[in-house]
Amino acid sequence: MEPIRLNKFISDSGYCSRREADKMIEQGRVTVNGKRPEVGAKVTAKDKVRVDGNQLEVDAVEPVYLLLNKPPGIETTTDTSQRDNIISFTNYPERIFPVGRLDKDSEGLIILTNNGDIVNKILRAGNKHEKEYVVTVDKPINQDFVERMSNGVSILGVNTKKCFVAQEGPTKFRIILTQGMNRQIRRMCEALGYEVQTLQRTRIMHLSLSKIPLGQWRNMTNAEVEELMRLIEHSTKTEEGSKGKKPASEPLAPAKSKKPKQHSSAPAGKQNRTGSSPRSGKSATAGKRDKPKSGGSARGSRGAAKGAAPSGKGRGASGKGGAAKGGRRR
């Protein structure tokens, strides 16, 4: 467990909110290893934290970082009462949530994690983290379309930021965004008189769809997680990252990042019929998704176990040294 703020440690134990924890720290009701800490102090699972003399315990959990190739028809929502939600579809045995959204009709790469600290760092437009898409529209495009899309289009009362756009075929183009406005690409195309037929996200920063079959997921490799943490190290989590930034004078050039290594020991399309279960070997239940987790280092593989998840259908793409195996697509 990486060091976390003391108020978060207390909150994660279920004792009280972070704000109430800060008040108790100021009042001298909290001790760490027998000493009174300052507000803002950090602790780990090894520290003995007591409130009014009672020791608190927080599970030393490892973070989860998954890459899912979302198919069309799946809603990017954590509301499991909603039909075709991404949580039930992924069928992961522990509590996770998506980073950002993909429209129900869209497909492609999406990150799922239990580390809430990275979400806004990835999504804030001011942090300029790239997301790449391949799009087809209902009629032929031309250079005028490419230039207008790349220079910004007026949608939702604002002009979109300049971006990289390249034509890939008569009705197909590639676009790289650092924004994440609601249905941005579809609205941009509509503003120019086009209708999106297919939309696939192929890349988020250095992370690629490569070798992840549609409807399957895999764990990020340790190298991918380390690079992700390096890229967001100086990113802000607040609105400040989206304010006071002037649009670039030229469209963005496509990233030249190295293709992420895939640690696959089996053909990408090979699937089995088992569900994923925690590495501890305990059977997974629906209730495990309600268990919060904190961020830290990359998590390793979870072995397959029959009947591990309620539906019995895991969806992990096979992977070597940390990629979970999953099962049959719906």
Query: 44 near 5, Cβ under 8 Å?
Result: no
Distance of CA 71 to the CA centre of its chain: 16
What confidence score (pLDDT) does residue 61 get?
60
Where in the chain is CATH 3.30.70.1560? 130-204
From first CA to last CA, the distance across the chain in angstroms is: 36
> For residue 279, what pLDDT band results from cuts at 50, 70 and 90?
very low
Average pLDDT, the chain: 76
Given a cut of 90, whether residue 86 has pLDDT beyond it is yes
Q: To the nearest whole percent, how much of the chain has pLDDT over 70?
A: 70
Indicate which residues carry an active-site annotation: 103
Give the CA count within 13 Å in the CB-facing half-sphere of 329. Answer: 15
Is domain 4-55 in CATH 3.10.290.10, yes or no? yes
| CATH code for residues 65-124+213-236 | 3.30.70.580
Cα distance between residue 154 and residue 260, in whole Å: 35
- Predicted pLDDT at 289: 42
Q: Which is higher by pLDDT, 279 or 39?
A: 39
Q: 3-class DSSP state for residue 134?
A: strand
0.75 exceeded by pTM:
no
Angle at 164 between CA 221 and CA 178, to 5 degrees: 55
CATH number at 130-204: 3.30.70.1560
At residue 138, φ and ψ (nearest 5 deg) are -85, -5
196-216 per-position pLDDT tens digit: 999 999 999 999 998 999 999
Contact 164, 252 (CB under 8 A): yes
Domain with CATH 3.30.70.580 in the chain: 65-124+213-236
| Residue 47 DSSP SS3 | coil
Contacts of 302 (CB under 8 A, 6+ apart): 93, 276, 277, 278, 279, 324
Cα angle 292, 296, 300; round to 5: 90
The 10s digit of each residue's pLDDT in 66-81 is 999 999 999 999 899 9
